[in-house]
Amino acid sequence: MSLTLIVPGNWSKVDQLLSRRFPRRKATIPPASWVEELMEKRFGCLMICNPCSVKYRDGIQRWGYARHPDMKASGNACDFCKKAVPIMALYFKEEHPYPDQQQYAREKEKWLRGYSAHQFQTRRTN
């Protein structure tokens, strides 16, 4: 079964005005880039639905956002996919700075002697 996309052929004035008022993500910007840019700007508190938290887990970890174990958002839309979800987890920007290479090296020395450093570099260092 093939997927059929139904795109409206005629856009009313209202549709055109709304599309200008609420511009969508540009086709030249992939969803992941947009999400990464969002996290890079340090919003402090992001509401991320479960599918997106899995899809963008790598970026969430790299930018130092952490899921709060208790606090949830109810009745809001996901910041990434913009879909309304009944209950979502809140992700907060961690207060400590990202570990630098020196800290990674120390950690490696302390706990992971003999392992490869790249295996544990999960966060951006710049």
Residue 52: phi and psi, rounded to 5, are -70, -35
76 forms part of the interface with other proteins (CB under 8 A): yes
| Segment interacting with other proteins (CB under 8 A) among 4-12, 13-21, 34-42, 114-122 | 34-42
Closest to 79 measured CA to CA, from 47, 38, 56: 47
Is residue 74 within the footprint of other proteins (CB under 8 A)? yes
The stretch among 24-32, 67-75, 107-115, 117-125 that binds other proteins (CB under 8 A) is 67-75
Determine, following the binding rule CB under 8 A, whether residue 98 of this chain makes contact with other proteins: no
C-alpha to C-alpha distance for 114 and 109, rounded to whole angstroms? 9
Closest distance of CB 61 from other proteins, Å: 18
Our CB check for other proteins shows the closer of 8 and 44 to be 44
Alpha helices in 13-79 (DSSP H): 13-21, 31-40, 50-55, 57-62
Helix or strand (DSSP H, E) at 110:
helix 101-111
Q: Among 6-14, 44-52, 98-106, 114-122, which window interacts with other proteins (CB under 8 A)? A: 44-52
**Cα–Cα distance between 15 and 8 in angstroms, integer?**
10
Report the interface residues with other proteins, using CB under 8 A. Answer: 38, 41-47, 70-76, 79, 87, 90, 93
